[in-house]
Amino acid sequence: MSTKGRTWTLSEEALKNHKGFTKENHPDRSGVKLSNETRMKMSMVAKGVKKTPEHRKNISISKRGHRSVWGERCWNWKGGISKIDKLCRGMREYYEWRSAVFERDNWTCQTCGARGIYLTAHHIHGFSLIIKENNVVTLDDARNCEQLWNIDNGVTLCEKCHSLTDNYKYLARK
């Protein structure tokens, strides 16, 4: 029997008596094998029941303590081991530097002249090298390092031309 296009509804009396399933009384966990048709009906019933505003409010209240957490409170925290160059790339100054380089170069790859494709702002003198040379260890150090945010040290390139540079990603370190 095809269930495509059919909707399953419960009578009002069945809705009043419907208590929902828990781990203990769920048919899938009780050892009883259900047919695919019965499983389909069960899922359609669950999707078709509208939640009252009070129910939605209670769900919202119950989820308040389950927000995503960053930093030391996060379950995946490893003691702040992120590299400083990766942290710097998330700074507002980095995004401003990229925008300034793109605007200066008129959103055009400076090697092949391509426009309208994904472009990157490439540091001519490597970003990681500048961090090492200037002993940048904190984000405040990075903010104060003028060489990192010097627009003359940047050039707009397409992905293909960027991959051909001598200090592309980590190739210069190897």
CB 152 within 8 A of CB 158: no
- Shared-domain flag, residues 23 and 51: yes
- Shared-domain flag, residues 97 and 45: no
Q: What's the CA gap between 68 and 75, in Å, rounded?
A: 10
- Shared-domain flag, residues 90 and 156: yes
Owning domain of residue 119: 84-163
- Shared-domain flag, residues 97 and 153: yes
pLDDT of residue 43: 65
Q: Is residue 71, in this structure, part of any structural domain at all?
A: no
Q: Is residue 35, in this structure, part of any structural domain at all?
A: yes
| pLDDT of 109 higher than 70 | yes
Number of domains in the chain: 2
pLDDT in tens, 96-105: 999 999 999 9
CB 40 within 8 A of CB 3: yes
Higher pLDDT, 59 or 115: 115
* Sequence-separated contacts (24+) of 27-36 with Cβ below 8 Å: none
- Shared-domain flag, residues 57 and 90: no
Q: Is residue 46, in this structure, part of any structural domain at all?
A: yes
- Shared-domain flag, residues 46 and 95: no
Q: Is the pTM of this model over 0.85?
A: no
Q: Is residue 47, in this structure, part of any structural domain at all?
A: yes
- Shared-domain flag, residues 60 and 117: no
pLDDT in tens, 41-95: 666 556 666 777 887 787 777 777 655 666 677 777 777 667 888 888 889 999 9
Q: Is residue 74, in this structure, part of any structural domain at all?
A: no
* C-alpha separations of 128 from 83, 132, 133, 170 in Å: 10, 6, 9, 9
- Shared-domain flag, residues 62 and 90: no
Q: Is residue 78, in this structure, part of any structural domain at all?
A: no
Q: Is residue 77, in this structure, part of any structural domain at all?
A: no
- 121 beta partners: 156
Mean pLDDT of the chain, nearest integer: 77
- Shared-domain flag, residues 108 and 144: yes
Q: Is residue 174, in this structure, part of any structural domain at all?
A: no
- Shared-domain flag, residues 151 and 89: yes
Q: CA dihedral in degrees (82, 83, 88, 89; nearest 10)? A: -80
- Residue 173 identity (one-letter amino acid): R
